[in-house]
Amino acid sequence: MPTGRYTIASALRRSYLGAGAAAMGALVLSLGAVLGLFDAEVAVEGSIVLALIVAAFYALLRSGFSQRFDDPALSAAQLAVAFIYLAYLTYRTEDAPAALALLYAVTMLYGMLRLDPGRLALLAVLAVVSHGVMLFMLIDAGHLKDLAAAWTQFGALALALAAFVAAAGTVKRLRERLSEANRRLVEVAEEANDRASRDALTRVYHRRHLLEALEREASRATRWDKPLSIARVDIDRFRSLNAELGYDVGDAVLSRFAEVAQTALRDVDVFGRYGGKEFLLIMPDTDLAGAVIAGERLRAAVNGARFAVDAGRRVTCTSGVTQYVKGERVSSLLTRAEASLSYAKAAGRDRVMALPLEGKRAAG
């Protein structure tokens, strides 16, 4: 069962098409009266009833009662009531049922915009049957003298309604194709944006994206009073590796390192290449102790991974961790993490070190 809270605005959004169709119907009735196709009394009565129908369905939408049904906009019910009333108007106008054909067209047009072809076909059958019954009643009452013209008009109405149902199927297919095209465009845009946010070699986020993400997370941490920590991660002795084994091997190590590091991270963590051989890890909802644990998990993953380097050479990493302080500048946070990294390198590398605000080093 659908659920949701209705407001006046949402009710209006769901009923404005029906109100528009009713307004067009009232206009047709008024023109028919002006042209002398039927009495003004019929036009006034019809317009009032159409307005009452719109008001009644609006009240159902506004109350939220329509949420009990699988068609919360009650479009099918609105069309069913409209068709039955049009059949009644056919009887009321007596000798001018053809003038109401336009009202059937307006109603079916509304249905094309709101319903699937199956439901619209059932409603078209209802319209044809109810209109046919009224014609029989008019004939039985002696109001229709030209039976050939009456049944020709009835046949034309049935064919027109069938054409509307067929058109509704086409409209549905076009909508589905448009929806699929829009979905694909969104996917392409997201893919392009993702590519633009990533380092070409390692396929992790590049520096600009990392800084933007860090600004967002810092604002979020301040707004919601949540912890936030970062780690500046450095591949140990990478320059000597490049010099001894060549840049191709160095590039392979960078790419492999980024791949391995991501296996040790949470989905909410943001990881990327900060520059050269250094990476940045942003850890939302993580205090300093938790950040040290995360850094150790990353270090262990790298130590246990295989890299395309000579036997006997290990690839390790060193991390400098710190926690965000509410209201501080991101640049200050990054500087403190860099200081932590420097202390960790000076202590021998292949380790995680946290530098709290007090300046006391804490090794992981």
Q: Is the pLDDT of residue 21 over 80?
A: no
Q: Is the pLDDT of residue 76 over 70?
A: yes
Q: Quote the tokens at residue 322.
A: 């710190």
Do the Cβ atoms of 28 and 103 come closer than 8 Å?
A: yes
DSSP string, 136-165: HHHHHTT----HHHHHHHHHHHHHHHHHHH
pLDDT value at position 95?
58
What's the pLDDT tens digit per position in 81-115?
888 888 887 777 765 555 677 778 878 887 887 78
- Report the distance separating Cα 167 and Cα 169, nearest Å: 5
List the one residue out of 320, 258, 324 whose CA is nearest residue 295: 320
Exposure letters 330-364 (e unless 16+ CB within 10 A, then b): eeebbebbbbbbbbbbeeeebbbbbbeeeeeebeb
The pLDDT confidence band at residue 6, using thresholds 50, 70 and 90, is very low
On average, the pLDDT of the chain sits at 83
In percent, the amount of the chain with pLDDT more than 90 equals 37
- Report the distance separating Cα 281 and Cα 73, nearest Å: 48
Sheet holding 362-363, edge to edge: 270-275, 278-284, 228-235, 317-323, 352-354, 362-363
Q: Which one has a higher pLDDT value, 143 or 47?
A: 47
pTM over 0.75: no
- Give the count of beta carbons closer than 10 Å to the beta carbon of residue 22: 25
Do the Cβ atoms of 337 and 305 come closer than 8 Å?
A: no
Do the Cβ atoms of 280 and 228 come closer than 8 Å?
A: no
Q: Is the pLDDT of residue 184 over 50?
A: yes
Residue 81: exposed, middle, or buried by beta-carbon count in 10 A (0-12, 13-18, 19+)?
middle
List the one residue out of 330, 323, 294 whose CA is nearest residue 218: 330
Phi, psi of 284 (to 5 degrees): -65, 155
The contacts of residue 61 (CB under 8 Å, 6+ apart) are 6, 10, 11, 14, 15, 72, 73, 74
CATH architecture of 207-363: 2-Layer Sandwich (3.30)
What's the pLDDT tens digit per position in 223-260?
999 999 999 999 999 999 888 888 899 999 999 999 99
Q: Is the pLDDT of residue 183 over 80?
A: yes
What's the pLDDT tens digit per position in 253-307?
999 999 999 999 999 999 999 999 999 999 999 999 999 999 999 999 999 998 9
- Report the distance separating Cα 259 and Cα 202, nearest Å: 8
Q: Is the pLDDT of residue 359 over 50?
A: no
